[in-house]
């Protein structure tokens, strides 16, 4: 027996979301069918508004409903630091920490030749132009993920930026608080030893 066409289309739509397999998509589709009509209308409106009102900041590449974004407009931010992240969602994670008060730059991904992502597909050129136009920047903090692609992207950016005399740093990687050494992989241990600090 096949699903009625509206449910089948809804299941297919949910399956386009990352991390959603067939079983979860079916569960979400049936949950949606049982939602109150007003809730469905609000959900649909939120999706439409997200697509209609959000854009990327022309300075840093963050998702925003105003251009430039709130962070780029804030004169109280530390103008001498730019923290480079892979995606806009990474900025929200850093902001929740409430300890970083500099600027950001969103790459829109990482170098990944297998996926057809080279430097031209990333927001690299605008970062270099930004650094050339703003002499106040004296440090670029690279906060790409600790994956082979993230590491390659960090090294690539470092080679581009260092000749301009700007300090390039990388977020420390290693053992997380509460973890056991015996369960850590070799790369995590290597990064933990490299990023050790004096106590």
Residue pLDDT, tens place only, 93-129 = 999 988 899 999 999 999 998 888 999 999 999 999 9
pLDDT at 198 over 70: no
Higher pLDDT, 153 or 181: 153
- Distance, in Å, from the CA atom of 56 to the CA atom of 65, rounded to the nearest integer, reads 8
Query: Looking at residues 54-63, what average pLDDT do you find?
Result: 96
Q: Is 123 exposed, middle or buried (CB count within 10 Å of its CB: 0-12, 13-18, 19+)?
A: middle
pLDDT at 38 over 90: yes
Instruction: Give the rounded percent of residues in the chain with a pLDDT score beyond 70.
Output: 96
pLDDT band, residue 197 (cuts 50/70/90): low
pLDDT, residue 97, reads 85
Cis peptide before 68 (omega within 30 of 0): yes
pLDDT, residue 182, reads 74
Could you tell me the end-to-end alpha-carbon distance of the chain, in angstroms, rounded to an integer? 66
pLDDT, residue 199, reads 52
Higher pLDDT, 136 or 187: 136
Query: Looking at residues 77-83, what average pLDDT do you find?
Result: 96
For CA atoms 93, 134, 108, 42, give the dihedral sign.
positive
């Amino acid at each position: 027996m096949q699903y009625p066409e509206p449910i089948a289309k809804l299941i297919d739509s949910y399956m386009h979301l990352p991390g959603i397999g067939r079983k979860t998509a079916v569960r979400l589709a049936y949950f949606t069918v049982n939602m109150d009509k007003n809730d469905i209308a609000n959900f649909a409106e939120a999706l439409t508004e997200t697509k209609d009102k959000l854009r990327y900041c022309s300075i840093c590449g963050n998702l925003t409903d105003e251009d430039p974004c709130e962070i780029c407009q804030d004169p109280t931010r530390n103008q001498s630091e730019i923290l480079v992240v892979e995606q806009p969602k990474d900025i929200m994670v850093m902001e929740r920490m409430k300890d970083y008060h500099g600027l950001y730059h969103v790459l829109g991904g990482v170098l990944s030749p297998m996926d057809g992502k080279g430097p031209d597909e990333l927001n690299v050129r605008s970062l270099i132009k930004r650094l050339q136009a703003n002499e106040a920047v004296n440090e670029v903090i690279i906060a790409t993920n600790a994956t082979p692609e993230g590491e390659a992207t960090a090294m690539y950016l470092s080679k581009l930026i260092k000749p301009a005399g700007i300090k390039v740093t990388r977020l420390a990687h290693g053992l997380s608080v509460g973890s056991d050494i015996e369960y850590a992989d070799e790369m995590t241990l290597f990064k933990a030893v490299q990023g050790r600090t004096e106590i």
